[in-house]
Amino acid sequence: MSEWWTYTLADLLMFSKATYFRLFELLNLALWPVQLLTLAAGIALVAGLLHGGAKAGRTVAVLLALAWLHVAWRYFAQRYATIHTGAPYFAIAFALQAVLLLWLASKRLAPRLTEPVGTLGKLGPGIGLVALIGYPLLAPLAGRPWMQAEVFGMAPDPTVALTLGALLLWRARPVLWIVPLLWCAVGSATLIELRSGQAWLLPILAVLAVGARVIAARRARQ
């Protein structure tokens, strides 16, 4: 029997690239036309980020929380769990992030949701647009059917990407970044092992968001 430290991520993945993306197709077929509702919510989220203000910020945070809960249940608990033993833990992590977003939406934290200015005011919504428009286009660009498109509020990667844009714009506390960044690492590692060309998109968005957040924090201290 091999020693445990000799195992790689490839040894732990019990599914193929085709099986992985087939899950999104099954999800989209089963829940159609919920995708239209989640996309509409995503558009409202980006509009809220551009608008700014405490009220819009609270609305965005609540909608994001609902999206994370939906992904936790519909994708991880009901579908990803059929091919990945770690899916229940991912579902718990996404549910925890939803709770944190609801906490952020509380009136006590509302002043933190009013930062649509400067570079952050452009980069944050820009990342959100990549999540809404860019991710669904990855399927046809890779030669896969449209029904395998990853949609915000349905699939984890675009949901995390839009959240990164919001957290950047709000200059959110570090605790709110933990789960999104962990998923960036886990999701990207999985796609790399599956030899998927989109493996680096989410990490790139994460680096942009974190880098801009750090720069903004340093400028604020100065």
Q: Hey, what are 14's tokens?
A: 């019990």
CA–CA distance, 34 with 28 (Å, rounded to integer): 8
pLDDT of residue 218: 78
User: Which amino acid would we find at residue 113?
Assistant: L
What amino acid occupies position 198?
A: Q
pLDDT digit string (tens) for the chain, length 222 residues:
445 444 455 555 778 899 999 999 999 999 999 999 999 999 998 888 887 777 888 889 999 999 999 999 999 999 999 999 999 999 999 999 999 999 988 866 664 565 555 666 678 888 999 999 999 999 999 999 999 999 999 999 999 999 999 998 888 889 999 999 999 999 999 999 999 999 999 999 999 999 988 887 777 676
Structure pTM?
Answer: 0.91
What does the DSSP 8-state code read for residue 152?
A: T
DSSP letter at 15 equals S
- The residue with tokens 């819009």 is 56
Q: Please give the distance of CA 29 from its chain centroid, rounded to a whole number.
A: 21
pLDDT score of 5: 47
CA separation for the pair 204, 31 (Å, rounded):
30
- pLDDT given for residue 120 in this prediction: 63
Q: How many CA atoms lie within 13 A of 43 on its CB side?
A: 7
What is the torsion angle, in degrees rounded to the nearest 10, for the CA atoms of residue 23, residue 27, residue 28 and residue 34? -150
CA 98 to mean position of chain CA atoms = 12
